A and B are shown apart, each in its own frame.
Chain A
Amino acid sequence: MTFFIRVMTVAAVGFLSLPVVAHGGDDVDYKMARDLRKAGKIVAVEKLLEDARRRRVGTLLEIELEVKNGRYLYEIEILGDEGVVFEYYYDAQTGQLIKEGVHDE
């Protein structure tokens, strides 16, 4: 997953067009997601979750919003009933599935 750049925005920075390379900051990423969604720039994660659930029956483990080449990507991790974690990457703007698979870094 080296080609993905984790982003983190500081809450105070309401300015989202400047992605900042940073370590994973779970306490702020969702705030960015809220704001982007309110602004209509990305789709609701529920829609993506519905799609992922259709592909894999299991428990939602984690959601991450990432920026790569100026595009927003959603990573949804689902713990399948068989005990394997599956990852689904969606284009956050269009809701299209980009990649799916087990964590194979």
Chain B
Amino acid sequence: MKSLWGRLALGLSASLLLFFVIQWWVSDRALHELTEEFVISRLEHDAENMLGALRKNEAGETELNPHRVNGIYHQPFSGHYYIIRVGEETFFSRSLWDFELRFPPDSAHKTYVDGPDGQQLLVITESYVKLGQVVHIAVAEDMAPLNKNLAEFLAWYSGLAFVMILAMIAVQGLLVRTSLRPLDQVQAEMERMERGEMLRLSEHVPSEVLPLVQKFNSLLDVMKGQLARSRTAMGNLAHALKTPLTVLSRLADDEALDRSPELKQALGRQVEAIRQLTDRQLKRARLAGVGAPGGHFVPAEEFPPLAHTLEQIYAEKGVEIEMQMPQQKVFSADREDMMELFGNLLDNACKWAQHRVQLRVEAGEGLRVTVADDGPGCAPEDREKLSQRGVRVDESTLGHGLGLAIVSEIVKHYGGELHFGESAQLGGFEVRVTLPLHPSLR
């Protein structure tokens, strides 16, 4: 069950083995029968030849004309023998020499007996009438050399069959590996999706794999839709909560509550906390469009429109955002998270800047983004407080200090680092974000 190849190889070798065993058996039978029939027909011819060689000599005795008998019957133990019985007389071939070959019973036309010198004899017997006498002729031939040749041939054939089975299994393994290659491609594409380099699996795959890929893609669509819907719902909820929250916070400030300042304070804190949460959701919904799950982030594509939007928002002040970034670098990070992170940072910078904001993206060991402005900057002792939720270092400017807290949270989520400092170039505040994301070329 573990490997397709293993299962196929097992099935193939079993069926091939069965096939070759059956074929071997059939050819073994066929070859033996063919050989035997061939030898029998030759022996029958020889028997008839012997019959023709029988004659009476001048003395009236029955004898065998030596000129009519093949020389092979004269060479001792040659493997070709005859016994002729005419009346009371028996003629043995010289090739038998002193070997006592039994004349087979008359009923047997074809028998196998052991011959001299380890030979296996096929004996056929024929009965005729000639010169007024009954003539029995038995002719024998040694089958051992033929059988040896057959055995050699069949052994050779078995070896060849074995090699062929191995070769077929190897070819099949190659085929299986080749035909499963599209799955490797799908796997590689899934890895690229994980890194955010692809949004969908390519559907240029063999028809057997296509349903799987299509199903996966449609599942991806469903999940994307669900994510977008839940985000929209979150945004809607946050929006809907805004008015009740404003009412609630006004009520918390009500003079009627002055009698119990502790309650008033606690109420204020909780309302503030809820407002921060809803604000965050709203920002998310506003800043990010619909992002792909496990999406990708391309600074060169996302920053210019963002900068443009912010420049328009702060048009009155005349803020200009300068950008430096590598082209075509793709980072596997959620686009929404990145938009929220850098949107906040840029928004802050624009808020504090007099006229200039600098955005610098570097892709080296991870993603490093520096946002600097030419604003008043921040005292070193205040920098630590910056990322705390709801703490405002600046008490006079609009806002509620949530931006940097969100920034800090996202950076933490990605395992990155956040550094606050002073811009050497612009003299104002500088934020440096380093995220351990690995860039790849599109």
Contact = CB atoms under 8 A, between A and B. Distances in A.
Partners in one complex: yes
B92 A34 contact: yes
Given A33-B97, A33-B98, A62 B75 contact: yes
B94 A26 contact: yes
Contacts of A34: 92, 97-98
The residue in B76, B92, B94 that gathers the most chain A C-beta atoms within 10 A of its C-beta is: B76
Interface in A38-72: 44-46, 49, 60-63
Contacts of B96: 30
Given A27-B66, A60-B117, A49 B94 contact: no
Nearest to A35: B98
A48 B437 CA distance: 96
A74 B407 CA distance: 118
Contacts of A63: 76-77, 97
B74 A46 contact: no
Nearest to A33: B98
Contacts of A37: 98
A34 B92 CA distance: 10
A45 B66 contact: no
A7 to B, nearest CB: 16
Contact of B117 (A26, A27, A36, A49): A49
Interface residues of A, number: 16
A34 B77 CA distance: 14
Contacts of B92: 30-31, 34
A37 B62 CA distance: 25
Contacts of B66: 27
A31 B417 CA distance: 117
Contacts of B77: 49, 60, 63
Counting contact residues on chain B (CB < 8 A from A), the size range is: 10 to 19
The residue in A30, A44, A46 that gathers the most chain B C-beta atoms within 10 A of its C-beta is: A30
Given A49-B117, A60-B117, A30 B97 contact: yes
Contacts of A62: 75-76
B254 to A, nearest CB: 127
B156 interface: no
B25 interface: no
Contacts of B75: 61-62
B291 interface: no
B333 to A, nearest CB: 86
B428 to A, nearest CB: 108
Interface in B95-149: 96-99, 116-117
Contacts of A60: 76-77, 117
A9 B74 CA distance: 17
A34 to B, nearest CB: 5
B385 to A, nearest CB: 108
Contact of B94 (A30, A36, A45): A30
A83 to B, nearest CB: 18
A27 B428 CA distance: 134
Contact of A44 (B74, B76, B94, B98): B98
Contacts of A26: 74, 94
B100 to A, nearest CB: 8
15 contacts: A27-B74, A30-B96, A30-B98, A34-B92, A34-B98, A36-B98, A37-B98, A45-B76, A45-B97, A45-B98, A46-B116, A46-B117, A60-B77, A60-B117, A63-B77
Given A26-B74, A30-B92, A30-B96, 12 more contacts: A27-B94, A30-B98, A33-B97, A34-B92, A34-B97, A37-B98, A45-B97, A45-B98, A45-B99, A46-B116, A60-B117, A63-B77
Interface of B: 66, 74-77, 92, 94, 96-99, 116-117
Interface of A: 26-27, 30-31, 33-34, 36-37, 44-46, 49, 60-63
Those 5 A-B pairs whose CB atoms lie nearest each other, nearest first:
A63-B76, A37-B98, A33-B98, A30-B94, A34-B98
